[in-house]
Amino acid sequence: MSSTILNVQKLGKCYASYRSNLLRYMRWFGIPVSPQHEYWAVKDVSFTLRAGEALALIGQNGAGKSTLLKLITGTVRPTTGNIAVLGRISAILELGLGFNPEFTGRQNVYLAGGLMGLSTRQIDEIIPAIEDFSELGEFFDQPLRVYSSGMQARLAFSVATAVRPDVLIVDEVLSVGDSYFQHKSFDKIRKFKEEGTSILLVTHSMGDVRALCDRVILLDKGKILKDGPPDEVVDYYNAMIAEKENARLSVEQKRQKNGWFVTRSGNFQAKIKSLVLLDEMTQEPVEIARVGQRLVVKLVATINEDIPRLVLGYMLRDRTGHVVWGTNTWHTEQVLNDLKKGEEVEFYMPFTCTLGPGSYSFTYALTSSDTHLENNYEWVDNALVFDVINADKKYFIGTSWLDAVFQISRR
């Protein structure tokens, strides 16, 4: 079992306001003075991070994610609690943090490297790799003030990852970069993880969380609301967002025997009656599909109250949580209007199984628009699970099968 490299115990950060600066100064010197107002950005947070583990911090804006990272990196002092780090931390927090806008990119590498504890000789050795990875070209020797936010992100990431750290902390900064550099950066993060670096990631991209992280902590109002596997916590977070938009919403979660985690939420004004995967020709239920087989997803919904509109959405995921495909009847222009209590609606969706071998799940949502935020009647993650085998097709790799052959001519 891997060792613990980061231990956070009962960590808290309080920002207090006082009636006067005199009272604030008295508090600094240990004189007991009650503040006029207290705001706990982080309160009573405890968790551990193991070597080689990737942990994501998620939550809405103001949940305390960035403050927690600043506490861990030492840029902000905690009000309560303790932090123990066994190893070197490298952090990419706010853009430009630790950089001088009047210095060139090259000069800022020496500045940031020195703050990281590297000697001039060590920086001399790694600066060609930093220049190459950042791909800034002639801008590497231009002042930072002429950089775009994406260029600053390139430089910050290249410096922070020039030497493999024990703990790499990334706070949303890569979201400002272009898609090419985001892919390049995440490839490097994955490589670090394979080599034993622990990752602490703050992002609003749930796709990155599912693809990269072993564990997720959901923060809300500065406290840990949930700590667990990505599928469980991310689905709960999505349901929580919908719950805040729909006051009557309820949320249920359960781990199935097949390992898939089912999250059900909604106000249930419309609800599923049945959901089944069928062979299109025989109309028999299918649990194991073949590559290239014609299939049908059949869903029957019951209307429990009069509703103005009904939209059905599907999302197909692979075992890692990656979204393979998704759409809804809003985008296909098949919205149903003015449904009455007691009605039933059957949705019938035929498709060709162009999937690679593996395990897959369908998530469905019954809503009133193109999102679940307006009226979430019922949303169930991983409601229908099935396996795909390659029984008849030639060998291929990946999660998608293309009905393609080579055309070859010799000249």
Has residue 411 been placed in a domain?
no
Give 349's pLDDT tier (boundaries 50, 70, 90). very high
Residues 190 and 269 in one domain: no
Are the C-beta atoms of residues 28 and 57 closer than 8 Å to each other? no
Residues 213 and 278 in one domain: no
Report the chain's mean pLDDT, rounded to a whole number: 87
Give 173's pLDDT tier (boundaries 50, 70, 90). low
**Whole-angstrom Cα distance, residue 91 to residue 94?**
10
Task: Give the residue numbers spanning the domain of 22.
Answer: 4-231
Percent of the chain with pLDDT over 90: 49
Q: What is the pLDDT of residues 84-101, one digit of tens each?
A: 988 888 887 766 667 888
Return the CATH number at 379. Answer: 2.70.50.60
Residue that finishes a domain, picked among 231, 263, 295: 231
Give 185's pLDDT tier (boundaries 50, 70, 90). confident
Return the CATH number at 171. Answer: 3.40.50.300
Q: What is the pLDDT of residues 237-248, one digit of tens each?
A: 887 876 665 555
Residue that finishes a domain, picked among 203, 231, 259: 231
Residues 100 and 214 in one domain: yes
**Whole-angstrom Cα distance, residue 379 to residue 382?**
10
Residues 172 and 257 in one domain: no
Q: What is the pLDDT of residues 50-60, one digit of tens each?
A: 999 999 999 98
Spatial CB neighbours of 366, under 8 Å, sequence gap ≥ 6: 266, 270, 271, 272, 301, 310, 311, 312, 377, 378, 379
Residues 157 and 280 in one domain: no
pLDDT of 351 over the 90 cut: yes
Q: What is the CA radius of gyration of the chain?
A: 26
Domain count, the chain: 2
Q: Residue 238: phi, psi to the nearest 5?
A: -60, -40
Residues 212 and 265 in one domain: no
Q: Which pLDDT value is given to residue 231?
A: 84
